[in-house]
Amino acid sequence: MKDFILKRMASIILPFICIYGFYVIFHGHISPGGSFAGGIIVGLSFIAFSTIYGTEKGRKKLPEKVLVWTESYGTLWYGIMGMVGIIKGVPFLTNKLAGVNLGVPGTLNSGGLISFIGFGVGIRVASTMITLFFTMMEEE
């Protein structure tokens, strides 16, 4: 696309969309939304980038290797966070019993491991969405 206004506006707005996605991911435990919704928003910012600036440039920004790695290790991150409980001698995915400090309810650090788990799920969802987009665009 050769639209000058669109490109300028996108270059201003898209970083904020991406950051908003991460905001939604990290606030999943105290407000509506969460890692899935936030991950989609993050993925969408990259998808919008690729549609506006062309798939080639989008590919350059996120090579396939990076996508495969975030997709795989985002999920593994979930498992590692679950292991925290097992190392402490309590069941899988335990949060409070594992000795994680749960702060004041309603604040950002009140989720314990939930935000960390959400981060893994979020980047996984984002990379899955981007991979799907690239795959569908290639199958011409």
Q: Which residues bind another protein (CB under 8 A)?
A: 31-32, 34, 36, 68-69, 71-73, 75-76, 79, 82, 85-87, 89-97, 105-106, 132, 135-136, 139
CA–CA dist 43, 18 (Å, integer): 8
Q: Is 47 in contact with 62 (CB distance < 8 Å)? A: no
Shortest reach from residue 16's CB to another protein, in Å? 25
Of 124, 133, 36, give the one whose Cα is nearest residue 72. 124
Nearer to another protein, 10 or 112 (CB): 112
Nearer to another protein, 35 or 53 (CB): 35
First to last CA, the chain: 18
Q: Is 109 in contact with 25 (CB distance < 8 Å)? A: no
Tokens representing 29? 């435990």
Shortest reach from residue 5's CB to another protein, in Å? 31
Nearer to another protein, 54 or 99 (CB): 99
Nearer to another protein, 18 or 125 (CB): 125
